[in-house]
Structure 1
Amino acid sequence: MFGLIGHLTSLEHAQAVARDLGYPEYADQDLEFWCSAPPQVVDDITVTSATGQVIHGKYVESCFLPEMLAKRRAKAAIRKILNAMSHAQKNGINISALGGFSSIIFETFNLENMPQVRNVTLDFQRFTTGNTHTAYIICRQLEGVAKQLNLELAKTTVAVVGATGDIGSAVCRWINDRTDVADLLLVARNRERLEALQTELGRGKIMDVADALPQADVIIWVASMAKGMEINGETLRNPCVLIDGGYPKNLSTQVQRPGIHVLNGGIVEHSLDINWKIMQIVNMDVPSRQLFACFAESMLLEFEKWYTNFSWGRNQITLAKMEQIGGASVKHGFNPLLLSL
Structure 2
Amino acid sequence: MFGLIGHLTSLEHAQAVAKELGYPEYADQGLDFWCSAPPQIVDSIIVTSVTGQQIEGRYVESCFLPEMLASRRIKAATRKILNAMAHAQKHGINITALGGFSSIIFENFKLEQFSQVRNIKLDFERFTTGNTHTAYIICKQVEEASKQLGIDLSNATVAICGATGDIGSAVTRWLDAKTDVQDLLLIARDQERLKELQGELGRGKIMGLTEALPQADVVVWVASMPKGVEIDPTTLKQPCLLIDGGYPKNLATKVQYPGVYVLNGGIVEHSLDIDWKIMKIVNMDVPARQLFACFAESMLLEFEKLYTKLFLGAQSDYRRQNGADW
Q: Which structure 1 residue ranges, 4+ long, deviate > 6 Å from structure 2?
A: 321-324
Cα deviation 1:272-295 (Å, max 9, x = unaligned) = 111110000000000011111111
Larger displacement relative to structure 2 (153-162 or 46-55) = 46-55
Q: Which amino acid aligns with 1:21?
A: L
Q: Is the 8 A contact 2:227 2:248 kept in 1?
A: no
For residues 151 and 187 of structure 1, what CA distance do their matches in structure 2 show?
21
**Residue in structure 1 matched with residue 145 of structure 2 by the alignment:** 145
Is the partner of 1:315 in helix, strand or coil?
helix
For residues 105 and 293 of structure 2, what CA distance do their matches in structure 1 show?
19
Shift, 1:225, TM fit:
4.0
For residues 322 and 286 of structure 2, what CA distance do their matches in structure 1 show?
28
**Residue in structure 1 matched with residue 253 of structure 2 by the alignment:** 253
Shift, 1:8, TM fit:
0.5
For residues 206 and 302 of structure 1, what CA distance do their matches in structure 2 show?
40
**Residue in structure 1 matched with residue 263 of structure 2 by the alignment:** 263
1:72 aligns with 2:72: yes
**Residue in structure 1 matched with residue 308 of structure 2 by the alignment:** 308
Shift, 1:125, TM fit:
0.6
Shift, 1:192, TM fit:
2.0
Larger displacement relative to structure 2 (17-26 or 218-227) = 218-227
Q: Is the 8 A contact 1:135 1:322 kept in 2?
A: no
**Residue in structure 1 matched with residue 84 of structure 2 by the alignment:** 84
**Residue in structure 1 matched with residue 158 of structure 2 by the alignment:** 158
Shift, 1:321, TM fit:
9.8
For residues 193 and 308 of structure 1, what CA distance do their matches in structure 2 show?
29
Question: Unaligned 5+ residue runs, structure 2?
Answer: none
Larger displacement relative to structure 2 (128-137 or 227-236) = 227-236
Larger displacement relative to structure 2 (308-317 or 167-176) = 308-317
For residues 292 and 157 of structure 1, what CA distance do their matches in structure 2 show?
27
Q: Is the 8 A contact 2:241 2:260 kept in 1?
A: yes
**Residue in structure 2 matched with residue 339 of structure 1 by the alignment:** none
Q: Which amino acid aligns with 1:248?
A: P
Is the partner of 2:311 in helix, strand or coil?
coil
Shift, 1:22, TM fit:
2.2
**Residue in structure 2 matched with residue 55 of structure 1 by the alignment:** 55
Q: Is the 8 A contact 1:160 1:220 kept in 2?
A: yes
Name the CA shift for 1:199/1:297 in 2 (closer, same or farther; >3 Å).
Answer: same
Shift, 1:30, TM fit:
1.5
Name the CA shift for 1:226/1:126 in 2 (closer, same or farther; >3 Å).
Answer: closer
Name the CA shift for 1:323/1:144 in 2 (closer, same or farther; >3 Å).
Answer: farther
1:235-250 alignment, distance < 5 Å? 235-250=235-250
For residues 223 and 136 of structure 2, what CA distance do their matches in structure 1 show?
16
For residues 61 and 12 of structure 1, what CA distance do their matches in structure 2 show?
16
Q: Is the 8 A contact 1:161 1:188 kept in 2?
A: yes
May I ask how many residue pairs the two structures share in their alignment?
Answer: 325
Name the CA shift for 1:288/1:66 in 2 (closer, same or farther; >3 Å).
Answer: same
**Residue in structure 2 matched with residue 169 of structure 1 by the alignment:** 169
For residues 227 and 151 of structure 1, what CA distance do their matches in structure 2 show?
30
Shift, 1:70, TM fit:
1.7
Name the CA shift for 1:70/1:244 in 2 (closer, same or farther; >3 Å).
Answer: same
Name the CA shift for 1:13/1:160 in 2 (closer, same or farther; >3 Å).
Answer: same
Normalising by structure 1, we get a TM-score of 0.91
1:219 aligns with 2:252: no
Question: Unaligned 5+ residue runs, structure 1?
Answer: 327-341
**Residue in structure 2 matched with residue 206 of structure 1 by the alignment:** 206
Shift, 1:224, TM fit:
2.8
Larger displacement relative to structure 2 (200-209 or 312-321) = 312-321
Is the partner of 1:143 in helix, strand or coil?
helix
Name the CA shift for 1:226/1:55 in 2 (closer, same or farther; >3 Å).
Answer: closer
Q: What is the alpha-carbon root mean square deviation over aligned residues? A: 1.9
Cα deviation 1:248-273 (Å, max 9, x = unaligned) = 12527153211110001111111111
**Residue in structure 2 matched with residue 126 of structure 1 by the alignment:** 126
For residues 316 and 169 of structure 1, what CA distance do their matches in structure 2 show?
10
Shift, 1:191, TM fit:
2.1
Is the partner of 1:316 in helix, strand or coil?
helix
Q: Which amino acid aligns with 1:144?
A: E
Q: Is the 8 A contact 1:186 1:207 kept in 2?
A: yes
**Residue in structure 2 matched with residue 233 of structure 1 by the alignment:** 233
